[in-house]
Amino acid sequence: MFDDKIILITGGTGTFGKNFAQRILKNHRPQKIIIFSRDEMKQWDMEEQIHSSKLRFILGDVRDKDRLQRAFNDVDIVVHAAAMKIVPKAEYDPFECVKTNIFGAMNVIDASLNAGVSKVVALSTDKASSPVNVYGASKLVSDKVFIAANSYSGSQNTVFSVVRYGNVMGSRGSVIPLFHKMRHQKSIPITDLDMTRFMITIEQGMELVEKALQTALGGEIFVKKVPSMKIVDIAKAMNPDVDLNVIGIRPGEKIHEQLISIDEAKYTFDFGNYFKIYSPFLLPSEKQILAEGGVPVGEGFSYESNKNNQWMTEGELRSWIGANLKY
């Protein structure tokens, strides 16, 4: 799929982008991987870390359609990972969040169609399902425009799909690295004692993107089945004797997260270790053909972090931390 192809990753200096670029370079023979992002220092650092003649760096912002268009020339595959994602920052500066997450998504779609890109996968978030904050709402709109973009591809045959997953373990700005830094303190701040989150490794996230690139026919949202964990248990996994200082939830936070809403259930099929949410614009006969091998989840279904049938234990998290985080 990636051999002899030109792959472009927006937001490519982030946790996902760096790991995905390394994965492609290790397992495939791409013609070129383009890292499109707006921070020159992060590009410099990434170039120092990954030495490959197949890696290219282009400075630019997804808000700038002209710059995107220039970068997308001759590109075969686009993975759209650029986003403003820190919830309190998005609440405080919603205009900036909308410009990046919504207008930026529209620009990526236009540039992909104009350049004749073959496949585009956009990264989403559990916060896009029944959103209560600006970040989640902006990503819901982003999901919608990427799904609708399949109606605009025409003779270009560009295929747009979305992958949606929860908290990436160890990613920048997430709770595990934060608690890991605080593990020797006497107390750790906890927003809510009942709070739960979905837990996904970067490897699982990358596998889901590859699944979407391999199998998407256009308009699907791929949702990986992953375990949940209570935030309290994450803190205890770092230090079983630590005191918990309850500080209350931050602006825009949920107690529990959701990956599939009840309203999306009528379009959702179970494929074993992942779900597909199909476009509501499909005719029932089209949806059934595309969903061959999948099982309808049924009316009233929802996929929520507090009602999950998979749970990560403190011991499993400690094992992951020992293998992935430096002390």
Answer whether 77's CB lies under 8 Å from 213's CB.
yes
Is 155's pLDDT higher than 80? no
User: C-alpha angle 90/91/95, rounded to 5°?
Assistant: 60
Q: Rounded to whole angstroms, how far apart are CA atoms 167 and 127?
A: 10
Residue 188 backbone dihedrals phi, psi, to 5 degrees:
-125, 135
Is 327's pLDDT higher than 60? no
Nearest CA to 320 among 244, 229, 241, 256? 229
Q: Rounded to whole angstroms, how far apart are CA atoms 27 and 212?
A: 17
Answer whether 274's CB lies under 8 Å from 263's CB.
no
Q: What is the pLDDT of residues 21-77, one digit of tens each?
A: 999 999 999 999 999 999 999 999 999 999 999 999 999 999 999 999 999 999 999
- State yes or no: is 127 an active-site residue: yes
Percent share of the chain, pLDDT over 90: 74
User: What are 260's two structure tokens?
Assistant: 């599939």
Task: For each of the domains in the chain, give its residue range(s) and CATH number, in order of start.
Answer: 6-167+200-225+259-303 (3.40.50.720)
User: What are 249's two structure tokens?
Assistant: 């939830």
Q: What is the pLDDT of residues 79-127, one digit of tens each?
A: 999 999 999 999 999 999 999 999 999 999 999 999 999 999 999 999 9
C-alpha separations of 300 from 121, 137, 201, 264 in Å: 28, 22, 28, 9
Percent share of the chain, pLDDT over 70: 97
Q: Rounded to whole angstroms, how far apart are CA atoms 94 and 88?
A: 10
Which residue among 127, 230, 236, 287 is the active-site one? 127
Q: What is the pLDDT of residues 195-219, one digit of tens each?
A: 999 999 999 999 999 999 999 989 9
Q: What is the pLDDT of residues 274-314, one digit of tens each?
A: 999 998 887 666 767 777 889 999 989 999 999 999 999 99
Is 162's pLDDT higher than 50? yes
User: What are 81's two structure tokens?
Assistant: 């990972």
